Amino acid sequence: MKRFSLPDLGEGLTESELVSWRVAVGDHVELNQVIAEVETAKALVELPAPTAGVVTRLHVEPGTTVLVGEALVDFAPDGETAPPPSVPEADRAEVDLPSGAADREPVLVGYGPRTASGERPRRRARSVDDDTPAPVHTVPVPERSRPRATPPVRRLARDLGVDLGTLVGTGVGGRIAREEVERAATGPSGQLPERARGAGAAPAGTPATPATAADGSVRRPITGVRRRTAEAMVSSAFTAPHVTEFLTVDVTPTMSLLDALARSPRTGDHRVNILTVLAKAVCIAVRRTPAVNASWDEAAGEIVEYGHVGLGIAAATPRGLLVPNIARAEELSLFELADAVSDLVRTAREGRTAPAELRGGTITISNVGVFGVDAGTPILNPGEAAIIALGAVRRRPWEFEGQVALRHVVTLSLSFDHRLIDGEQGSRFLVDLGTMLSDPAMVLTMV
């Protein structure tokens, strides 16, 4: 029998939450077929099967947090007879695999082997009634058996206010089923409480179901991307001294260029927009002010100026804010950059961003204009020196050639780490961006 455990997904992540299974016990799977989705603190990750065979056991249920190295699923390889269903994991000790089995375990491509620090210590064998620790004194104390239920059922009972200790489970080993919890929570009307409707495992890529209190307040678990984003923003805000500058520019020439590109047969299916043009402008302006494409290395006592641009694009997703990046963005043409941005945002919103795509960013763009916002003071992505916010493009009265005319106008916001970037450097970089957006032909003077 082949056991597949949660691999090391990189970035020092030691645990993931199982979002959903794509297979069931008895299913035949092929090598590298997606068998499950797990959510880390950074992304939703699809797990491929490490071998072809028949699924004989699923060790955890959706909604469960799994440590790196903990068992997920067992397979009977092709050509072998699948063993009979075994006792559930909670009813027995963990199985010791043959010596060296862990060393031979496949890992996800690009994520590396399991690290020693990520392994979960094996627990001692215990009986069905040995659910509570032994008392530290010698006076006999009657044991109180803990109701048996899976983590999702326990969460459902907590949301519905049902005491599992009052229920008698009819499942294997006295396990309490979801239906028994719902039956206990059903009121005289025969309907579940409002807060319970739709409770259970959330679909892939969506936040956990919130609990609604009697006073109407809603409590949402702080998990996954939301927790990681909060930690990163607090760390950034209180570590790097932020300075924000604003520049409002007439981008009518750029909008005319975009109209011309939309009509050109050379554009094809490439989706070139104001964000694409700004992304290209950032890559060009970085060459003139390399300090904005840098990071502060406190441990080494150095400022690191990067030789390439890892262009981060902040993307709003159902799971929270993600900032995947385009590696070596300065090497891409305008059309290639347009495709890269479109693919990056679509993948993030679908919850398919790989952890590797969230590493290596050096400077970020946040497009707040898509929400109708004119400007803001963006917080730096941790480890980066600058972030640019692109506001909404609006038609406004504007001075043009000595007269007032309706023009397309946008506000750019630049936040930067004042430890690395002086006001003169930040201002020059922001003005370069404004110059290229107000007159795309000026790019010729900067390359």
Active-site residue 418, yes or no? yes
Burial of 380 (C-beta count, 10 Å sphere; 0-12/13-18/19+)? buried
Question: Would you state the structure tokens that stand for residue 396, as one six-digit string?
Answer: 């406004």
Judge contact between 18 and 46, C-beta under 8 A: no
Sign of CA dihedral 178, 197, 224, 235: negative
Residue by residue, what is the 3-state secondary structure of 213-281? CCCCCEECCCCHHHHHHHHHHHHHHCCCCEEEEEEEEECHHHHHHHHHHHHCCCCCCCCCCHHHHHHHH
DSSP state of 183: H
Beta bridge partners of 399: 404
What crossing angle do the helices spanning 423-438 and 274-288 adopt, rounded to 10°?
140
Q: Which of 28, 242, 308, 418 is catalytic?
A: 418
Beta bridge partners of 414: 245, 388
Burial of 334 (C-beta count, 10 Å sphere; 0-12/13-18/19+)? middle
Rounded to whole angstroms, the Cα distance separating 304 from 237 reads 20
Active site residues: 418
